[in-house]
Each structure stands twice: as C-alpha cells, then as structure tokens.
C-alpha cells in the first residue's frame, strides 16, 4: 500500500543543484505553494561527523566512495546525504572561464549571465581567499615549487566560515565551517517553508507522479516521513540527482527511448594523487587542504594541478605497488607533500551512464588518448614541482620504479613514460562527475535546453552537473549553482501555466 502526497514542486536531490533550486523557489511557499526536496541520503547528526576515514566514507559517500566505472579503471566519488556532494567537497570556488562556455556553445546560454549568477553564490556561501598565515607547508611548498619553475600558480578562493584547519573537508566538516548547501541554501529554503524529506529514494517518475521509498538507516536522523512506499504528485519536477543519479532516474522512468542523448557525454576530470617525500615533517594535515592551483598546462596539455591532502586509506590505495617501499612511504605521512592532477577529458558520446536490470547506474568510461597523455605529462610536471620544493623522493604511478630520487631529477621524462601507464593498475579517481543530461538545442543532440527544460516534457527540469555538455575544465560547483539558479527562474516563469494545465486535467478527471 502506497501513501499518497500532493505537492506543487518537487526537487529530487539536495546537492549543489537541488539545494540551490530549493532556496531560489522557496519564496513561492509564501503564496501557498507546497515544495519539497526528496533526498535519498540521511541528514547526519552533528556528533556523527567524527572525521574517522572509513566510518565517514560509509556514511557520506555512495558505495563508501568506491563506486567504479564498468571496467574498473576509475572510482567515482559522490555524496549521498542531505547537502549531496557539497558536504564532502573541499569548497574551492572557481568561476567558469569564458572560453569553456564558448566551447560548450549551448544556444541560449550566455557566459556573462551564468557567471553573474555564480558570483551571487560566491557572496551567499562566503567565498574568499584564506589569510596567508593560515596556509600550511604542503600548500606553501607547491607555490614555491611552481614559482621556482616559472609555472603559473594562483590561490584558490574557498567557501569556509570559522574554519579550524582540521583538514577533514572530504570527510564532511566536523566544525560546520564549510559553506555548502547543507549549511546555507537548505536551511534558508526550510525557513521559508520547503520540506526536506531525507532517506527518500525516488525510484521512478511517471508523468507528474513520482514513486519513492523511505528507508531509514542505522545512522543519521530518521526521515520526516514514515518508512514505506509513496506516490507523490507535483506540477513541476526538478531532477537534481547528480551526473550519475539524474540520468539513472530518467532511464528508470522510461525516457531512454525519447531522449537518445540521455546518459551520454559523461566527463569526469580523471584525477591522480601524487606524493613527494621530504626529509622531515611538514605541516600537511593541519590547515585547509587546498590553497593553490597551477594551470600552466591547462590549454596545451589539458590538465590542472591542485594542492590536496588525503587521508591514510585513500593515499595508500593511490600508490602503485606494494611491499616495503609502500610501507616506508606510508609509515611517516608527516613528511608527505601531495598534488592532485585533474585531466580535462573530452566529451565522448560513448562515455555514458546506463542502468542495469535492477535500475542501478552503470558508468561506461573509456580513456581518450589525450586524457592518458595529460595524466602522464602531469606526473612529470608534478615531479618537477616536488623536487623544486625540496622533496627528497617522489612516487609517480607511471614511473618505472617506486621512488624517483632527487638525483634522478634530470631523467624524469625517461623514468615516467606512457608505456608505464597501465590502466587498471593505476589508481584513477573522479570527484567531478559531469554530463549525462547535456544542455543543447534539440533532442538529437541534447537532453535539455539552456534553461534545464527536458525536451518535449513540460514541467520536467534538470538542475545539476549532468547539464554540462562538456567538462567545466575547472572545479565545477559554482557553475552548477549558476545553472541551477537559471533553472529555478525558468520554473517560476513556467509555473502559472503548469498549474493551469494540472488543474484542467484534475477537473476533467473528476
Ligand atoms: C570529494 C569531493 C571533493 C570536491 N571538491 C570540490 C571543490 O573543491 N570545488 C568544486 O567546485 N567542486 C568540488 N567537488 C564537486 C562538487 O561537489 C560536485 O560537482 C557538486 O556537488 C555536484 O552537484 P550536483 O547537484 O550535480 O550533485 P550532488 O551534489 O552530488 O547532489 C546530488 C544529490 O542527489 C541525491 N540523489 C541521487 N539520486 C537520488 C534519487 N533517486 N532520489 C533522491 N535523491 C537522489 C544524492 O544523494 C545527492 O545528495 C567535489 C566533489 C567531491 C566528491
Ligand atoms: S579544514 Fe576547515 S572547512 Fe575543512 S573540515 Fe576543517 S574546519 Fe572544516
């Protein structure tokens, strides 16, 4: 027996996209509209943010952070709780470069309009540059290494308030300092009357009716609704379930035949974590983990380098090889400097999300030649940066040895080679999942228009990273919020007509 609920607007997912739409539409509650956010994950209690790596991975991430592409060559990280991936992101806040919007070439999407909206969230979410005295050695050394080599290097704006420098951003922030949608947009939406329904997985959309199930977990707050199955009606439905979740939900709902581009052109900024070992301890875990990025090779070789600091399990699995050298590296993490590589992968039609027979997402991803070249070139550049910063030895997964010693610095190109880049043996991860419901002009080439309206489906919208027609080339969350802001505006503009259609349908049914 299913419980029925009636709403005017339903938003599915509460991350960068869904949280933004919820807040932007929340003032409509004052006109008597019923709006709800349905989120498959729980709301964690504040005391559950312990910072313990394996415990938090299980509570915060889909598949404990270990979901893999179908051939097992890349792990995909995405948050599954109220606030979505903004609970686990690092909060580096970059605007979409104009050249990227030009490459996207979405009819009706104006770069200045999009960036203007992203800037609004820079204000709302407290984006600023961290004070120089708070920048730790791990970040400072990266900057110095880049300067020594003459590479372009800039400081990241970040969105924290009262940051205590615990370095645990990717395990959720135990100090409530990170200003994601959980801390900013969702409370504002709830204060205006939007209902936040957690532990609520939407299984299927059938016209203007959703089918969802509430299942509480043994952690987090229980849902506002009792466990069980629900049908929920709405006049407008905004799908904000992320780049993997949104296409999967639309496939489960039978849109695959009508929307030939559904799930396609998935991009991921494939990432490598690289480490350099210094002679003695440096400050690396204390302080915000990300202060600088280097875009020296963004255009020519298609990658970005960023500072980072990961935890023992993630670091250990990112190293290639096992045994005494691996143990030696892991034994004293206080000596490690880290760099994150992000490759700007091209949008390929066959890189796609599908669903299996049980309706669960499957991600097919083949590495393009340019992406592999970028991942090899970036290891050489990072190794140079580590040595320029004073590291004694470097571990690069495409090297022909576990450690590259400082005295071998003049042979980096011979030691790190494409031949040594073995897919499946190198740990490649992605935290920037993009595409799958790409914006564009028509159904033959895209899933939605430039305002997130699903082609041929009045009242159905997408507002999240799945809208990206190609990768964003920079950290994506501000762009997702800017796009979601546009979708919210469109929902407002369409709403009177959608309500009139729904009322007519109700009258004729009665
Ligand atoms: C570890 C990590 C670090 C990152 N760091 C940065 C950074 O520093 N800067 C930056 O710009 N970006 C960063 N990102 C990326 C950024 O967080 C994401 O791009 C962004 O949050 C995606 O927004 P979204 O709305 O598309 O999806 P999400 O934020 O992932 O939200 C989707 C939500 O939908 C829910 N959902 C899915 N399916 C269903 C369903 N069927 N029913 C109900 N709910 C559902 C999910 O549980 C989730 O809460 C990082 C990501 C990760 C994982
Ligand atoms: S470094 Fe700052 S933002 Fe990150 S987890 Fe610690 S207090 Fe939170």
Q: What is the pLDDT of residue 111?
A: 98
Q: Which among 87, 88, 159, 168 is the best mutation to test ligand 2's pocket, defined by most ligand atoms within 8 Å of the CB?
A: 168
CA 168–ligand 2 middle distance (angstroms): 6
Q: What range does the domain containing 285 cover?
A: 129-159+271-344+368-422
Residues 88, 148: one domain? no
Same domain, 308 and 392: yes
What pLDDT, on a 0 to 100 scale, did the predictor assign at position 510?
A: 74
Ligand 2, residues 130, 156, 164: which to mutate, most atoms within 8 A of Cβ?
Answer: 164
What is the tally of structural domains in the chain? 2
155, part of any domain: yes
Note down pLDDT in tens along the chain; length 510 residues.
Answer: 899 999 999 999 999 999 999 999 999 999 999 999 999 999 999 999 999 999 999 999 999 999 999 999 999 999 999 999 999 999 999 999 999 999 999 999 999 999 999 999 999 999 999 999 999 999 999 999 999 999 999 999 999 999 999 999 999 999 999 999 999 999 999 999 999 999 999 999 999 999 999 999 999 999 999 999 999 999 999 999 999 999 999 999 999 999 999 999 999 999 999 999 999 999 999 999 999 999 999 999 999 999 999 999 999 999 988 899 999 899 999 999 999 999 999 999 999 999 999 999 999 999 999 999 999 999 999 999 999 999 999 999 999 999 999 999 999 999 999 999 999 999 999 999 999 999 999 999 999 999 999 999 999 999 999 999 999 999 999 999 999 999 999 999 999 999 999 888 888 877
**Which ligand lies nearest the alpha carbon of 167?**
2
Residue 489 sits in the same domain as residue 499: yes
205 and 280 housed in the same domain: no
Cβ-Cβ contacts under 8 Å for 282 (sequence gap 6 or more): 136, 137, 138, 141, 334, 335, 336, 337
352 touches 264 (CB < 8 A):
yes
CATH number of 91's domain? 3.50.50.60
Domain co-membership, 185 together with 141: no
CA 417 from chain centre, in angstroms, equals 30
Residue nearest to atom 6 of ligand 2 (CA): 166
- Indicate whether 470 and 379 sit together in one domain: no
Task: Name the closest ligand to CA 174.
Answer: 2
Given the DSSP bridges, would you call strands 9-12 and 157-158 parallel, antiparallel or unpaired?
A: unpaired
Task: For residues 316 and 395, state if they share a domain.
Answer: yes
Report the CATH number that the domain containing residue 375 is assigned in CATH. Answer: 3.30.410
**Per-residue pLDDT at 433:** 98
- Same domain flag for 199 and 313: no
Residue 354 lies inside a defined structural domain of this protein: no
120 and 31 both lie in a single domain: yes
Looking at residue 466, its pLDDT comes to: 98
* 362 located within any domain: no
With 0.85 as the threshold, say if the pTM is over it: yes
Q: How confident is the model at residue 503, as a pLDDT?
A: 87
Atom index in ligand 1 nearest the CA of residue 84 equals 49
Residue identified by tokens 């999009």 is 114
Cα–Cα dist 376/272, whole Å: 10
pLDDT in the model for residue 365: 98
Give the pLDDT of residue 292: 98
Q: Which residues have CB under 6 Å of ligand 2?
A: 160, 163-169, 173, 175, 177-178, 288
Q: Determine, yes or no, domain membership for 356.
A: no
Q: List the one residue out of 91, 80, 57 whose CA is nearest residue 481.
A: 91
Question: What angle do the packed helices 369-388 and 137-149 form, to 10 degrees?
Answer: 100
Atom of ligand 2 nearest to the CA of 158: 3
Tell me: do 49 and 120 sit in the same domain: yes
Q: What confidence score (pLDDT) does residue 1 get? A: 82
pLDDT score, position 505: 84
């Amino acid at each position: 027996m299913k419980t029925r609920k009636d709403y005017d607007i339903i938003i599915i997912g509460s991350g960068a996209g869904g949280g933004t739409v919820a807040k932007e539409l929340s003032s409509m509650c004052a006109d008597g509209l019923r709006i709800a956010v349905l989120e498959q994950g729980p709301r964690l209690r504040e005391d559950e943010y312990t910072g313990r790596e394996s415990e938090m991975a299980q509570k915060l991430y889909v598949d404990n952070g270990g979901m893999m592409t179908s051939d097992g060559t890349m792990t995909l990280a995405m948050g599954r709780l109220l606030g979505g991936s903004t609970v686990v992101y690092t909060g580096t806040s970059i605007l979409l470069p104009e050249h990227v919007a030009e490459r996207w070439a979405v009819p009706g999407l104006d770069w200045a309009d999009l960036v203007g909206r992203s800037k609004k969230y820079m204000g709302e979410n407290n984006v600023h540059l961290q004070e120089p005295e708070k920048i730790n050695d791990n970040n400072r050394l990266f900057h110095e290494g880049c300067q020594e080599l003459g590479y372009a290097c800039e400081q990241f704006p970040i969105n924290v308030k009262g940051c205590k420098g615990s370095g645990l951003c990717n395990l959720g922030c135990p100090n409530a300092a990170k200003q994601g949608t959980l801390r900013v947009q969702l409370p504002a939406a709830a204060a205006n009357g939007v209902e936040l329904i957690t532990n609520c997985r939407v299984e299927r959309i059938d016209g203007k009716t959703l089918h969802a199930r509430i299942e509480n977990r043994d952690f987090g707050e229980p849902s506002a609704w009792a466990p069980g199955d629900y049908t929920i009606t709405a006049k407008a439905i905004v799908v904000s379930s992320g780049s993997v979740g949104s296409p999967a939900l639309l496939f489960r709902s039978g849109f695959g035949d009508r929307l030939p581009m559904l799930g396609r052109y998935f991009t991921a900024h494939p990432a490598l974590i690289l480490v350099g070992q210094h002679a003695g301890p440096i400050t690396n875990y204390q302080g915000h983990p990300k202060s600088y990025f280097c875009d020296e090779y963004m255009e020519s070789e298609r990658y970005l380098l960023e500072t980072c600091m990961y935890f023992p399990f993630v670091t250990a699995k990112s190293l290639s090889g096992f045994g005494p050298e691996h143990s030696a590296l892991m034994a004293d993490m206080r000596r490690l400097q880290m760099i994150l590589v992000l490759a700007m992968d091209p949008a390929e039609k066959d890189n796609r999300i599908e669903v299996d027979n049980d309706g669960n997402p499957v991600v097919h991803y083949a590495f393009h030649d340019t992406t592999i070249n970028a991942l090899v070139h970036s290891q050489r550049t990072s190794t140079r940066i580590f040595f320029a910063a004073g590291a004694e030895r470097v571990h690069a997964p495409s090297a022909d040895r576990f450690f590259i010693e400082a005295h071998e610095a003049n042979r980096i190109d011979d030691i790190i080679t494409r031949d040594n880049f073995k897919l499946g043996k190198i740990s490649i991860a992605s935290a920037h999942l993009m595409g799958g419901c790409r914006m564009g002009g028509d159904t033959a080439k895209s899933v939605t228009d430039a305002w997130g309206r699903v082609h041929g489906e009045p009242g159905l919208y997408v507002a999240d990273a799945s809208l990206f027609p190609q990768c964003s080339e920079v950290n994506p969350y501000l762009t997702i919020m800017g796009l979601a802001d546009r979708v919210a505006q469109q929902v407002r503009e369409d709403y009177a007509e959608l309500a009139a259609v729904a009322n007519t349908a109700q009258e004729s049914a009665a």
